[in-house]
Amino acid sequence: MMISEKTIEAVVNHQFQEAIQATGKHKSLEISGFGKFFFNEGRAKRQMAKYEDIKAAYEKKLKDETLTDQRKRSLEMKLESVKDSIRDLKPKFNDVFPDLRGMEEQPSSPRETKDSDKRDE
């Protein structure tokens, strides 16, 4: 097949982008023929705590008046990287996701609601 490298790169980048978006919406991702991946909330919480500790340490170091400009820029870049990691991980802790291991609860039918109203009278 005569497919340009640029086209292949665009397709692969698109697939990864879609996978990243899917993991932002759900706690799992299944790639046919490759496997199913679950978001491990316990591990993510430990990682978030680690990021918060690193962030606090960098902020504390940046308050040091004796830092050279080069060291200060380096610490600022590292701090921004940690903040980006926190920003990316934080939305995954929302309880918006359904429990994918079980069935979702079905809404009650209008008939069930009417019957329960009659019992309350």
Q: What is the 3-state secondary structure (H, E, C) of 69-109?
A: HHHHHHHHHHHHHHHHHHHHHHHHHCCCCCCCCCCCCCCCC
Q: What is the mean pLDDT of residues 73-101?
A: 79
Q: What is the mean pLDDT of residues 9-22?
A: 87
Question: CA of 112: how far to CAs of 60, 97, 108, 109, 120, in Å?
Answer: 60, 27, 6, 5, 13
Q: Is the dihedral of CA 57, 60, 62, 67 positive or negative?
A: negative
In the chain, where are the structural domains located? 1-39, 40-95
Give the range among 26-40, 70-84, 98-112 with minimum mean pLDDT.
Answer: 98-112
- pTM value? 0.56
